[in-house]
Amino acid sequence: MRIVKPMWIQIVFACVVSACLFGCSEDPNDKAARQFQQQTSETLDNFAKNRDPQATSEQLEKTLSRSRAGGLSGDSASLVAADMRLAKMQLNWTDLQVQTSQLSKAIGTLNQTLERLADNTAQNQRIQGLLALSDAEIVETERWIGSDPNAQSLKGQLAEAQAKEKQLLEKKTALQQNYQKARDTMLDLDAQADQKLRQAQTAAIDKQAELEKAGFDLKSQKKEYYIKAQQSENALAEVSSDLEIVQPHLKRLQDNLRQTEEKLQGLKTSSSRDNLQKQRQELDAEIRQQKDNVKQQLDRLVAQLTQHNKNTDEIINSVNEIIEKYQRVSSRQLEPNVSMSLGQAYALAGAITAAKVYTASDLGLRLEGILRTYETVLAEGLSSPIASKPDIEMTKKAIAYFDQAAQFYQQAASAAGQLRDVDQKATCAVLKGQLLVVKSKIRLADRIEDFETAEKTQLELDKLVEKAKEYGPLFSQSATAILLTKGIDFIPMLPVDSTMVLEGIKKDFVNWRKLRTTAAEAEVERLLTRIQELRKEYPGDEQITPFLDQEQQAMEQAKAKGFAEEEAAPMDANEAAPPADANSVGV
């Protein structure tokens, strides 16, 4: 498994080096300070080589304990030590997710055991019938194959399974139609509301309030259809889960029927009571063993889930301890870093807690479906030991973590905004973190059917997305944007070729040099507005930004000079401006 070091570790890594040097440079003669600087630098150098966050954190804490460094340098080292511990918790959670897949495999193994048990039980029932009617083996086999109305026969079971599959498919189609109808109604209400609000903007003053109210009333009607759409979506998930169980069961029945009909042909020519007796004894022993296996596998599954939850809680507790360490960092210079780290920590705690809810609920739902499918061959009263309903209290705890994460991400953004020369990539990263925790909160609220919270949080998410769009490709081409707006079925587009885009932009900036007087002035005003739009669309592009700077400067000089003083010379489209960088290459 390839582990990618989070970008925030790289940022804090650089910050702590500079902070420690700054703190120690206050007194060059202070031997303890110089020793603290040297030990800290060596520890971080080792991390650059071995990428072991746990060892680095422990070594930094030992250095801090021995030196008792305070102020900015001590807080910086404490911050990076906590960051390293948080990185280790992320790695631990990655390892823990392997256990989740093992739980899923365990249920798959249980399903296979039950399928074999069902096959053996069916075969044993057939053999027992044949032994009881040894003189009429063929008749008994024909009875076992049976016909559609006989629910105890293979054909009857097949017909029942086919009917169940048909019922589920019809239900799925109806739910899809209900979901689409609700979505279409929501879109129609939005369109009607927008139309009313646009009419209000141009209507007479005495009509504006009425039109605006009508628009907002239409928007408020969306809630009912949002709930209907969500309920349909949840029901669709349950139907799809049932189909994943029923369809393999149907295939097994079809195969069993085919095999039994082939055996019938053999019985018509030859039969051996001794052979049937031996088969029955073997099947009896195998069925007893398989029933024991089912119970043992269920016990192991519960034990695995219990251990998984225990391991999960240990990571969450460790993250909470790390949060306490962050909260003890008091240097104002590190406020953006601390807020960002707290946001990361609370987001991780929320994600792990949410995963705990999803794991138990999904496993319980799947196990209930499997046991329900094979209930005829299981001991009476055997039920799923894992609840399929999500743990409400645990879900609320995860939501609280996400709320805390969003709050600290916001604090990080506010603190960073007060600094000079703030990197757009860094502020965009903070906003993307905030977007993801808000999205996670919506998903949790939907899981427990708290649609009011989900709808309210969705409005918050929509506002954040609009804000994120201001970062242009930094957001729009990011994995976060794809997840939020396109979903997992998104097919990524090719990277933007800045060279080709620039050539297209240049053509729009040629004619203004040929115009004079008022025509030139109007064209320049239009292009200056266009420049601001392009800056938002391609922020910081190494080729496009220099061209826009050059054109804006030329236009402002032309405005100051006056457009009627001299006639502009024509210029070829390819000569609008020199390349931004002779060595620049398109993305």
Q: Could you give the CA distance from residue 27 to residue 98 in angstroms, rounded to a whole number?
A: 50
Mean pLDDT, residues 45-63:
55
Mean pLDDT score of the chain, rounded to an integer?
A: 77
Mean pLDDT, residues 192-206:
84
What is the pLDDT confidence band of residue 13, given thresholds at 50, 70 and 90? very low
**Are 85 and 340 a contacting pair, CB within 8 Å?**
no
pLDDT tens for 292-311 read 888 888 888 888 888 888 99
* Neighbouring C-beta atoms of residue 462, cutoff 10 Å: 11
Q: Highest mean pLDDT: which of 9-23, 125-139, 147-161?
A: 147-161
Q: Highest mean pLDDT: which of 128-132, 384-388, 444-448?
A: 444-448
Amino acid 5: pLDDT:
36
pLDDT at 491 over 80: no
What is the pLDDT confidence band of residue 284, given thresholds at 50, 70 and 90? confident
Q: Could you give the CA distance from residue 445 to residue 461 in angstroms, rounded to a whole number?
A: 14
Amino acid 572: pLDDT:
42
**Are 297 and 50 a contacting pair, CB within 8 Å?**
no
Q: Can you tell me which residue has the tokens 């073997």?
A: 282
**Are 364 and 433 a contacting pair, CB within 8 Å?**
no
Compute CA 474 distance to the chain's CA centroid, rounded to the nearest angstrom.
Answer: 19
**Are 567 and 545 a contacting pair, CB within 8 Å?**
no
Q: Could you give the CA distance from residue 83 to residue 263 in angstroms, rounded to a whole number?
A: 67
More confident residue, 433 or 271: 433
**Are 438 and 454 a contacting pair, CB within 8 Å?**
no
Among the residue ranges 113-127, 186-200, 297-311, 417-431, the one predicted with the least confidence is 417-431
pLDDT at 30 over 90: no
More confident residue, 423 or 586: 423
pLDDT at 443 over 70: yes
Q: Could you give the CA distance from residue 368 to residue 387 in angstroms, rounded to a whole number?
A: 8
Among the residue ranges 45-59, 126-140, 495-509, the one predicted with the least confidence is 45-59
Sign of CA dihedral 455, 415, 14, 31: negative
Amino acid 586: pLDDT:
29
pLDDT at 487 over 50: yes
Sign of CA dihedral 569, 574, 575, 580: positive
DSSP string computed for 531-584: HHHHHHHSTT-TTHHHHHHHHHHHHHHHHHH-TTSSPPPP--GGGSS--S-TT-
pLDDT at 429 over 60: yes
What is the pLDDT confidence band of residue 527, given thresholds at 50, 70 and 90? very high
Residues 6+ apart with CB under 8 A from 98: none
Tokens of 59: 């070594």
Which one-letter DSSP state was computed for residue 486?
I
Q: What is the pTM assigned to this prediction?
A: 0.52
pLDDT at 93 over 60: yes
Amino acid 212: pLDDT:
83
Amino acid 583: pLDDT:
31
Mean pLDDT, residues 346-354:
92
What is the pLDDT confidence band of residue 316, given thresholds at 50, 70 and 90? very high
pLDDT at 133 over 50: yes
Amino acid 486: pLDDT:
60
What is the pLDDT confidence band of residue 73, given thresholds at 50, 70 and 90? low
Mean pLDDT, residues 95-119:
84
Mean pLDDT, residues 265-272:
66
pLDDT at 150 over 60: yes
What is the pLDDT confidence band of residue 18, given thresholds at 50, 70 and 90? very low
Mean pLDDT, residues 267-287:
78
Percent residues over pLDDT 70 in the chain: 76
Tokens of 5: 């070091």
pLDDT at 314 over 90: yes
Amino acid 321: pLDDT:
92
